[in-house]
Structure 1
């Protein structure tokens, strides 16, 4: 497994086109690998995420089973004339093997929190449809429901540090929320626009099952993984 960080040159028009469309970015990320990646659940898949840091930089993170070649992204959305290659790739397996039960980490996750609802005039037994969680409270609830089966628990705040009586029990914030609507090439079965809501969570977690967490970090969490959702990364707690 590999973790790659690429700095996006937002001053270039091609970079703006990629950042404005998760479908285009998905295609650009896929072109970083000569062999098509598995999507049948039999192994780790390619995950990616766009971060904007405190310094105003825009970063593309990729987790992948094989090492990517981002030369085409440097040409489109980087600094082609610079001396450095424009991206850094780390051996992710070495880090994953160090994870141990009880360890505490800071984390960031961009996800697509959804739930199943019935149509307004649906009858009993009719199929449901996916709908996005709209409020931070429900978005946090979505993640809290998945923590134990994903190999971690989100750290709880001491009672005297909670600002609210309810809904402020965990070291977890919704840092960003953005609805997306975009069109991908139509097929015989699908001609509708794609609609997703990306939410970025920052928080602290404690590892409860290292093997399960390794799978979460390499397989992703939630829906819309092809469009920049599902990638969780860890950082040392300051």
Structure 2
């Protein structure tokens, strides 16, 4: 597995065009790999996420985790800086091998916090239909979505259920874009915090295969970094 990142120049029109549509960005990420490359293997699948800093530099990066090494030259040419090259790619194995139960790491996750409606909730024009996917929209619902699923993905969030002290939610949006002539709406949120590893195998699997829905549209990529 590989973990990669490439900088995006938001002053360029093509960059803003890609950022406005997860569907277009998905295509750009797919084109970083040859047709015969692995999109999904026993080791993991292609996952991606766009990170934008709120600091004075306002940096924007595209992060990708993948079974094969990507080539971002086409993205760098139209969406990057000529002096910055096409980003960097590293072997993910050393990080994955370091993960042990009981460790604590900082984490970031962009997710599509949603649920499938399992019961008829009324017959008004705005009622929810059984079997449909509904996005969680309140901060409490979105935080609860992660806390309820963390253990089955190999970790615990270091936070209190009452205050979510060390769990920060940001960039909570409804993303709307066109896909094959259809209007798609995704509820998304970025989660930052500290996790404790409860099952190292499950967490490694989550880092390589993602978490939640809409993985093809920039959601589901969990990344970790050392505390300090």
Normalising to structure 1: TM-score of the pair? Answer: 0.86
State the match for 1:64 in structure 2.
Answer: 66
Aligned with residue 175 of structure 2, among 153, 158, 180:
180
Find the aligned partners of 1:64 and 1:137 in 2 and give their Cα distance.
32
Unaligned 5+ runs, structure 1: 158-165, 187-191
> Using the alignment, how far apart are the partners of 2:186 and 2:79 within structure 1?
24
**Residue of structure 1 equivalent to 2:112:** 112
Secondary structure, in 3 states, of the residue corresponding to 1:183?
strand
**For residues 182-197 of structure 1, what are the structure 2 equivalents within 5 Å?**
182-186=177-181, 192-197=182-187
CA distance change for structure 1 residues 3 and 42 in 2, over 3 Å: closer, same or farther? Answer: closer
Residues 36-72 of structure 1 show CA distances to partners (whole Å, capped at 9, x for unaligned) of 5445x85511000011113310111000011000010
| 1:17 corresponds to | 17
Q: Is 1:77–2:73 an aligned residue pair? A: no
RMSD of aligned residue pairs (Cα, Å): 1.8
Correspondence for 1:6: 6
2:134 aligned residue (125, 131, 135): 131
Name the larger-Rg structure.
1
Among 219, 223, 226, the alignment partner of 1:233 is 223
CA contact (8 A) 1:154 1:170 kept: no
CA contact (8 A) 2:39 2:67 kept: no
